[in-house]
Homo-oligomer: A and B are copies of this chain.
Amino acid sequence: VSLYDVMTAASRLRPVVELTPVVSPKALCETVGRPVALKCENLQRTGSFKVRGALNALMQMPNDQRVRGVITDSSGNFGLGLAWAGKQLAVDVSIVMPKNAPAAKRQRAVELGASVHLSGATLDDRARVTDEIAESSGAVYVSPHDDRDVIAGQGTTAVELVEQTSAAEMILVPVGGGGLIAGVAVVVKERWPEVRVIGVQPSGAADAAHSLELGRRVSERSSHSIAGGLLANLGVKNWAIIQRLVDDIVVVDDIQIVAAVRTLWECARLLVEPSAGIVLAALTSPSVHSRVGSGRAVAILSGGNVDLDDLPWSTDLLSAAALQPAR
């Protein structure tokens, strides 16, 4: 994936996606103790950056494939983004969700015109069901992250960012399958060559961090985190880019993530999902402080799809946090 791929994706998407604002809330900067600029993809269409990659993938797909319809196995933001993109381009979209996915997610996908298929809860089971449906229906599989057009689409976030703000010491990006950070790194390393590209992962799903340490792509056996959007295996294409362009990937735990989500609301009135709040956790967690550096930070708030009736701090994590020794 080259800068050219991302730039052409950006012109393709610009009329359709939201040019999301970059904010630098003074109260948050004071709390964090450094200047921070936030790219608000939580205010993106469908509530996350994922719609960029989904749209770009469908727009780049040859017509003979589009007419067959597409299928993906993301029940989260990518599924939502693909359903929305399919609706715009009149492409049939099928989404495979685990049986235990929240009813609200199913309903939103259906409202956007997608067909929902249910599978067992494991990633393996979802992949198997997805393969079966793709084979029987002829639908084209679109990977939520391990795809050149998806990576280029996600990278358009950074095309906007480098126009909206000035270079910083580092840029912080959440890492799940690696689509966002791969696309962003392609842009940032050309346009802001001095800026360190730092990924952030939850401790329960830190395959990219481990891969970077080991110098080869490894997968987590079983991943778990409150940052549900980051529970995905690191993609092959993503890993190739990450290994080449990403400077570091730091790891934070769920309690730090929840605290960061709360801080973003308290100090900046931005309500984001845990997968997005994780970038702030990297700035506030003593455990990773030295690796992140101490200068101005740019961070991508990747999504805002939180259920207001079930906020992260309503969970048992809060009581768990109360039991933790101070850090």
Contacts and interface: CB of A to CB of B under 8 A. Distances in A.
Contacts of A42: 269
Given A43-B269, A269-B304, A304-B269, A25 B21 contact: no
Interface string A19-50: 00101011100000000000000110101000
A18 interface: yes
Nearest to A313: B308
A62 B21 CA distance: 39
Interface residues of A, number: 18
B18 A43 contact: no
A9 B159 CA distance: 36
A271 interface: yes
A124 to B, nearest CB: 33
A125 to B, nearest CB: 32
Contacts of A27: 45
How many copies are assembled? Answer: 2
Nearest to A30: B45
A45 B27 CA distance: 7
A205 to B, nearest CB: 24
Contact of A47 (B43, B269, B308, B311): B269
Contacts of A304: 269
Contact of A43 (B25, B45, B311): B25
A265 B268 CA distance: 16
Interface string A280-324: 000000000000000000000000100010010000000000000
B271 A269 contact: yes
Interface in A163-181: none
Contact of A270 (B43, B265, B308): B43
A296 to B, nearest CB: 17
Given A265-B308, A269-B271, A43 B26 contact: no
B21 A26 contact: no
A271 B264 CA distance: 13
Nearest to A311: B308
A224 to B, nearest CB: 25
A21 B21 CA distance: 7
Interface in A43-68: 43, 45, 47
A304 B265 CA distance: 10
Contacts of A43: 23, 25, 268-270
Given A265-B308, A304-B269, A311-B308, A45 B26 contact: yes
Interface of A: 18, 21, 23, 25-27, 42-43, 45, 47, 265, 268-271, 304, 308, 311
20 contacts: A18-B25, A18-B26, A21-B21, A21-B23, A23-B43, A25-B43, A26-B45, A27-B45, A42-B269, A43-B268, A43-B269, A43-B270, A47-B269, A265-B308, A269-B271, A269-B304, A271-B271, A271-B308, A308-B308, A308-B311
Given A43-B270, A271-B308, 12 more contacts: A18-B25, A18-B26, A21-B23, A23-B43, A25-B43, A27-B45, A42-B269, A43-B269, A265-B308, A269-B271, A269-B304, A271-B271
